[in-house]
Structure 1
Amino acid sequence: MGSPITISIPHQLGRAEARRRIEGGFAKIVDLLPGSSGSANQHWDGDRLIFTVAALGQTVSGVIQVLDTTVAMEIELPGVLRVVASGLKERLQKMGRLLLEKR
């Protein structure tokens, strides 16, 4: 396994509102994964969203940790998906910022 994609996105929403937005927008995050079927196995453990997604016949796993002023994502890309890691990281950061921007 290679190194995971790690992303830290600051926010000013407070933990509860940031979690609510991640919960509501998680499908948009999954849709960014190339070849994703759009469905994910996911469960919350406190303020940590643990998930797996099938993409291009492989399993992508990750954790999204919601903190008071930051949301941290760590996503493990297997095999061929590592090739798209840098572009994917940029798209995930952009989507995360959109979900967490103060409105």
Structure 2
Amino acid sequence: MFAPLIVSIPHRLGREEATRRLKAGLTRAAASIPMLQVDEERWEGDRLFFCVRALGQAASGHLDVAEDHARLEVALPWLLQRFAKVAQVAIRNRGNLLLTKRS
């Protein structure tokens, strides 16, 4: 069955700026991972709904942007669950890069 992968990334940008940065950076971030294909990316306010494909497996989830953090939840099929820890670290690192306050 599907097990959710949850990643929470704190930030100090406020909801509006964090959403702006994530909208601009998510497509670029996904493009930097060769085995990842984005099938759907749809924003509704401060929530992103997405479907991705990796290793022939589809995964879907959502990203919520709050005033002080972003929270990603994605349901992983059993094959992709084997890579959950690696994905969690990669998502957190990429998210921190996108949401780090620049002087």
* Unaligned segments of structure 2, at least 5 residues: none
Aligned with 1:13: secondary structure?
A: coil
Equivalence for 2:24: 24
Aligned 1:5-24 pairs, distance under 5 A: 5-24=5-24
| C-alpha deviation, 1:77, in angstroms | 1.3
| Superposition deviation, residue 2 in structure 1 | 3.3
List, as ranges, runs of 4+ consecutive aligned residues in structure 1 with deviation greater than 4 Å: 31-34
How big is each residue's C-alpha offset from its partner over 1:4-46, in whole Å with a ceiling of 9 and x where there is no partner? 1101111111111100111011124434767213x33111122
Residue 46 (structure 2) aligns with? 47
- The whole-number CA distance in structure 2 between the counterparts of 1:67 and 1:44 is 14
How far residue 51 of structure 1 moved from its aligned partner, in angstroms, is 0.4
Instruction: Indicate if the aligned counterparts of 2:51 and 2:58 stay in contact, CA closer than 8 A.
Output: yes
Change (3 A) 1:50 1:82: same
Cα distance in 2 for residues equivalent to 1:95 and 1:63 = 16
Contact 1:9 1:96 (C-alpha < 8 Å) held by counterparts: yes
Contact 2:3 2:77 in 1 (8 A): no
Q: Is the 8 A contact 2:3 2:81 kept in 1?
A: no
Return the letter of the residue paired with 2:56: G
Please report the TM-score for the alignment, with normalisation by the length of structure 2.
0.88
Q: Is contact 1:34-1:55 (8 Å) kept?
A: no
Hey, what does 1:84 align to over in structure 2? 83
**Total equivalences in the alignment:** 102
How big is each residue's C-alpha offset from its partner over 1:46-78, in whole Å with a ceiling of 9 and x where there is no partner? 210000012211111110000011100001111
